[in-house]
Structure 1
């Protein structure tokens, strides 16, 4: 009787594929092992085994190529989590697999070109094909990426096909393992020279070789083996002498496998004692009154939530279980890592996208086998997808943040919600922490889904910063403005710097200005591929599109009418930085946005400079609002709050309150009194008045009432369908068909309509919004949606239209 294995391919395909295996392979294979399988005519992929069985599929099953792993690289609970993500977010299981696993483990075959024959006299080849064949004859084989790198051709497929037609080359598909453990060369004195008499004899023997003797003496002083590269950097060490000593057998050189991530060697520092309010919160986190093991920790800014987290972490680690500490932004990991490292450095690992693929694989493997050095995992969104097997606690810090949502590609998951499911699979405690919880989380705490724990005072009773609203209309009438800064804010900055304290200035838009406008003809430079104006970046004098990356040098004259010096309009962080440097030429000013924090350690370096008081003023975007702790910051200035309040989104007021509350919380976090100055044209706005009083409950109740009245979460579930196509007429026809199909099955359908940016990368966009009652099961609705999507894909005219489904869009 034949044996089969069902596998998950790392492709956006909604089903499993069945392959033939031998009886020996059948007995060996377990779920979560990678297997190389053929797919299509030539391609090979490293698929993931799902289950083995003896049920013959309705098609002729191909045999597997070979098994990669001796043990599973994905845990059983992780596979269950993937299935939930796939079902809930209506994303193919293969897409979940591709998102969850580090890219270096996602092997797929490379097309190799092998030299076969020289052409006969009658064969005429194109210049490019002849050049490629000559190179293949020299090298023997090349893969297609090598052909491009060697600049032989930008389209190697065409040349390869020409050579294949004349039987001059062979084509093969080969799979190569990409991950290689990091290795180091270590040097030590050969064991035969360990006895004192042998060492004395050796020194006497090489006395006539001064460089060798000096190098040897330097090694003997190390007492233990030393890394070769480090030893070669020491003074008095000669590279040629080292190589000679190795050849003579005097030095022993060994290659060892080492971690890419350096381990802590110092002793762990004990935790600080908690304040009474922190102790009460910790005690409440031990009492699962609602019997859900889910907690919402609502603590004001600087209330010491992290200290409470650390006491929980210590308890769980001592039980031998794993802990996941999620943060919304890589920027926030810098300070959190530094704080946690002091107490848990020997058992802590970090996982986020700025790490190299090899570093991520090492963390993945440590989590999989529950290494003691990876009991505590600190990471951004993707860390929720690691292969945990003994999870005891999940902490979601700043749980209200939209950065937990995956926007760009499938699966469009929300890490906070996935973490809740992951905790349930492990029967682990989950704590969602925030100073301004999302409306949905607060509603869940009031309806019994979460236990609510509150900390209503700052650490050690420090005062909340005073929030003052500056009316820009009045300042402009009184001519009390200097650029974009009111005199009140300028005076406050001056006093703060004079007192050797620090300032944070917040504006949630990067670049110098939003767009450039010709005051003569009104021309605004637009992105050729997107329906959006180009943002001006003064530093490199470029106009950039923040959607597709297109950029062009800014012209000194209007390209439409020739008028000199078109005027920058709007306000970005670069412009604020420039104005501040003019107003305070002696101040040390830094800027924190996605332009200044590129690179692996960009966030860390900038945050450390500010924390060490190498900067007086830090200008930044929303990166500054998320849990950063700077003891010298006593003034926070919001340059213009109105853009946050008037955004086209039903969550605009909630997000404005959260962002402004969070950035306000950066001031006065220690024993220094803090102040917050918010510049606005509408100082009577309800959200600003609620913020001024720190009245979260009022904001929550107002927003909840409006959402219930107009039918938005948490009272309904939203599903957004986004359709894309390069031809607007085809897109409109497809969107109308899809909308009509939804209207036939559901009562609350909005659209189709174009989003605020209706074209990105030469693809037109249309969106349709579906509302489903939160009280009803979503499963029947999703079954209907799957049927509609299948019918849509079968229409020939719409096959080139891209359809993306976003469950619970943000």
Structure 2
């Protein structure tokens, strides 16, 4: 009898692949094991066991597996079920989900090496000079394919390599290299007799002729009891301990050593504090949540900014932690996880882990394993959207903070999932409780709450001494016409900045565009430099005098003269955070100014450093993009300034009003978070827009009533669901034909609205022309029927030879 396993490979494949195993392996192996399998001609890849069975495939002869990688599963049945749901809902392959889910250190790939065949004599008269160079290199060691390119100094190396293989002079082998290297830390301890109390006063005599040994023993006794293990590096730094001295002291039975595997990321929780006592309003909200959970596991928690939602979260976390459960705390952005961790670690330090993309693969690998083993230091995981893929064993509470935030949606690459919606499914799989928290809930979540799909609680009272800030909307037209602007600042904002600086208060300035100027234009001929790969203008970055594309990364040096007519009259249109920073430093030279945007936060700890400086009042004015609008809690902010609100208000998207209301309400909420009376000044060319009146009143209910009516009228979420199909090709004509074909195929027998194919507002990115098709369907039980119809059309599309050069992506529930 034959035995088989079906495995999932980390590629966008539609099916699982079957491999043959022995009877002994069949008894041992379980779902969720990692196994190395051959795939393709020679390569070997990590795969995940999905199923074991005894049925041979009909259309191919299964290969044998290469090797097991583990003694225990690294993925459990709940995760596999979750991946299958995500694959079906978001219309993507499980292979893409596997690749997105697991740290790359788990997913090994073989590497092709070349080695010389020592059993074959080389006839140097029949090979080229290039082939001789390769053989000379192989006399020293095995080499990688990429190293051959360096040896020959050319890209097309395969004719030479293949010729040597055909003649039998060299052969290719597959090598698998472990990607994860554990961090091993050496520890030292005094042997027992030296650490005993009676000996502590006599060590000076024993080591009187060996001052270096005496210093080491003295340091250990002074810095711990002598019976505790101490890190070797500490002794190396403070006592000049080296390996030869260590070996000698071990041989003399003075010291003992051991090597310990340690995690690379450790929470420093030296500063501890107790849970804060809840106010009456917070206590009532907490009790109401617990009551709702008895009949509904999902609760929308709407709390105004500065209401103390985090304190309520902390009390609920503590309740679940005491029972030994795991808790997932989801945040939309890395900058928010940093501040949340700094608050939670004082209470839950030893139970806390963090998981996000700024961590190295090794760090994520270690967090994954700690969660899998349900270790104490991974009971609470604070992380961004990728945290939903962790292998929780006892997950019973999920908190999604700032649930409205669009950063929870993965845009590229696949899977294009929404972490908030996926967390809802995850909580159901684990039978866990879930909180969706926000001061400005998404319309979909509020709609579900008001229609009893979710439980619903509100916290309308500010916490402690916090007060609602005074919000002003300033008409830019008036001051531009009167020529009274000070650079980019109205007199109101300029004077407010000056006043707050005199009071020693901090200031946030928000502009939702990085760089110096989004457009530079020749005044003489109107020429605007554009990206050679994308249908966008290049953004000027002053710090390195370059023009950059924010879509593909293309960059070129900024020229002083127009490239078209050589005129030196160049004008800059619009402004980004760099230009605001320059003007602020010019107007307020004594102020300490910093900037927080994508350009200044690329480093692993750059966000931490900026936030730490701001918290320690080492920054007077912080200028930033959306990164500074969300969830940050600083007590000394006296003023928030919005340089121009119009670029987020007038955006071609049905969610533009919702996003503008959320961003402006959130950024306004950064002011007035203590006894300091905060001020918010919003500069705009359209102050009569009723959204500003709702922001001034902090009326999310009023905004919801207005916006939900329009959503219903024009068939948008939450009444209708959307599926966006993105079609890309380097050939614009093929793209036009392909998109029209797909549109007709989808329209055939389809009763719901389909729009397109149309060009998005940016119709070319990375040399790929783009068309889109939008499907709308009612939020009812027709979803599976719609997706089956879509998949039939997509499969037919992919089977047409001339469309092979066209890329097709499906985005379910797009932002």
Class of the TM-score when normalised by the shorter of the 2 chains: over 0.9
SS at match of 1:234: helix
Quick check: 1:211–1:238 contact (8 Å CA) kept in 2?
no
Partner of 1:170: 171
Over 3 Å counting, the alpha-carbon distance change for 1:247 and 1:516 in structure 2 is farther
Scaled by the length of structure 1, the TM-score of the pair is 0.96
| Kept after mapping to 2: 8 A contact 1:232/1:239 | no
Q: Distance in 1 between matches of 2:267 and 2:576?
A: 41
Measured after TM superposition, the shift of residue 520 of structure 1 is 1.2
Shift of 1:790: 0.9
After superposition, the Cα gap between the structure-2 partners of 1:561 and 1:30, relative to the gap in structure 1 and judged at 3 Å, is same
Cα separation, partners in 2 of 1:516 and 1:263, compared to 1, 3 Å: closer
Between 192-201 and 768-777, report the one with greater CA deviation: 192-201
Pair 1:447-2:448 in alignment: no
**Shift, 1:385, TM fit:** 0.8
Quick one: distance in 1 between partners of 2:388 and 2:727?
Answer: 29
Q: How many residues align?
A: 808
Map 1:35-434 to 2 at 5 A: 35-58=35-58, 59-117=60-118, 119-127=122-130, 129-139=131-141, 141-147=142-148, 154=155, 157-190=158-191, 207-222=208-223, 223=226, 224-234=228-238, 237=241, 241-242=245-246, 245=249, 250-263=254-267, 266=270, 268-288=272-292, 291-434=295-438
Q: Is the 8 A contact 2:90 2:417 kept in 1?
A: yes
How far 1:717 moved relative to its partner?
A: 1.1
CA contact (8 A) 2:215 2:239 kept: no
Deviation at 1:695, TM superposition (A): 1.9
Task: String of CA shifts for 1:650-698, please: whole Å, max 9, x gaps.
Answer: 1101100000000000001111111110001110012112212222122
2:767 is the counterpart of 1:762: yes
- The alpha-carbon deviation at position 155 of structure 1 amounts to 5.2
Show CA shifts across 1:130-173 (max 9, x none): 3332222111x123345567786555545432432332211112
1:785 match? 790
Secondary structure of the residue aligned to 1:122 is: helix
| Change over 3 Å in CA distance of 1:249–1:515 after alignment to 2 | farther
Structure 2 Cα separation of the partners of residues 375 and 718 of structure 1: 36
The answer as to whether partners of 2:269 and 2:346 remain within 8 angstroms in 1 is no
Separation in 2 of the partners of 1:416 and 1:265? 29
Identify if the C-alpha distance between structure 1 residues 498 and 150 changes in structure 2 by more than 3 Å, giving closer, same or farther.
Answer: farther
Go from structure 1 to structure 2 and tell me whether the alpha carbon gap of 1:266 and 1:586 turns closer, same or farther (over 3 Å shift).
closer
CA distance in 1, matches of 2:605, 2:149: 31
Query: 2:585 and 2:269 mapped to 1: Cα distance?
Result: 43
Aligned equivalent of 1:753: 758
| Structure 1 residues 202 and 167: alpha-carbon distance in aligned structure 2, compared to 1, 3 A threshold | farther
Closer/same/farther in 2, CA of residues 369 and 538 from structure 1, 3 Å limit: same
SS at match of 1:574: helix
How far apart, CA to CA, are the structure 1 residues paired with 2:159 and 2:198?
A: 71
How far, CA to CA, are the matches of 2:190 and 2:465 in structure 1? Answer: 60
Shift of 1:226: 2.2
1:711 positional shift? 1.0
Relative to structure 1, the CA distance from residue 297 to residue 194 in structure 2 (aligned partners, 3 Å threshold; closer, same or farther) is closer
| TM-score, with structure 2 as normaliser | 0.96
Distance verdict in 2 for CA 1:453–1:30, change over 3 Å: same
SS of residue in 2 equivalent to 1:286: helix
Where 2:398 maps in the other structure, the secondary structure is strand
Aligned pair in 2 of structure 1 residues 790, 672: CA closer, same or farther (>3 Å)?
same
Range 705-714 or range 394-403, more displaced = 705-714
Among 569, 582, 586, the alignment partner of 2:586 is 582
8 Å Cα contact 1:215/1:242 also seen in 2: no
> Of 707, 710, 717, which aligns to 2:714?
710
Q: 2:303 touches 2:309 (CA, 8 Å); kept in 1?
A: yes
Distance 2:163 2:185 in 1: 45
Mapped contact 2:524–2:569 kept (Cα < 8 A)? no
2-side partners of 1:203 and 1:587: how far apart?
57
The residue correspondences of 1:329-728 to structure 2 (distance < 5 A) are: 329-460=333-464, 462-564=466-568, 566-728=570-732
- Name the CA shift for 1:689/1:162 in 2 (closer, same or farther; >3 Å): farther
Distance 1:463 1:212 in 2: 62
Instruction: State which drifts further: 632-641 or 473-482.
Output: 473-482
Residues 637 and 676 in structure 1, CA contact (< 8 A), matched pair in contact too:
yes
Moved more, 743-752 or 794-803: 743-752
Unaligned runs of 5+ in 2: none
How far has the Cα of 1:197 moved from its partner? 9.5
How far is 1:783 from its partner? 1.3
Q: Which residue of 2 aligns with 1:26?
A: 26
Task: Give 1:9 deviation, angstroms.
Answer: 0.8
Q: Secondary structure at the match of 2:5?
A: strand
Q: Does the 8 Å contact 2:103/2:361 carry over to 1?
A: yes
- Residues 192 and 198 in structure 1, CA contact (< 8 A), matched pair in contact too: yes
* Structure 1 residues 741 and 132: alpha-carbon distance in aligned structure 2, compared to 1, 3 A threshold: same
Deviation track 1:224-263 (CA, whole Å, cap 9, x = no partner) reads: 3322222111156567644654566654333221121225
DSSP-derived class of the 1:377 partner: strand
Structure 2 contact 5–52 (Cα < 8 Å) conserved = yes
Q: Which residue of 1 aligns with 2:802?
A: 797
- What SS does the aligned partner of 1:233 have? helix
Aligned-partner Cα distance in 1 for 2:263–2:293 = 43
Q: Which runs of 5+ in 1 are unaligned?
A: none
**Which sits farther off after the overlay, 642-651 or 700-709?**
700-709
Distance 1:176 1:240, change over 3 A: closer
**What is the aligned partner in structure 2 of residue 7 from structure 1?**
7
Farther off after superposition, 582-591 or 471-480: 471-480
Contact 1:214 1:236 in 2 (8 A): no
Instruction: Tell me the secondary structure at the aligned position of residue 291 of structure 2.
Output: coil
Contact 2:465 2:673 in 1 (8 A): no
C-alpha deviation, 1:200, in angstroms? 9.3
Q: For structure 1, which segment, 585-594 or 223-232, has the greater mean C-alpha deviation from structure 2 after superposition?
A: 223-232
CA distance 1:240–1:27, change in 2 (3 Å) = closer
Preserved CA contact (<8 Å) 1:38 1:65: yes
Q: Label 1:158 to 1:212 Cα distance change in 2 as closer, same or farther (>3 A).
A: farther
SS in 2 for 1:406: coil
Provide closer, same or farther for how the CA distance between residues 108 and 237 of structure 1 changes in structure 2, counting only shifts above 3 A.
closer
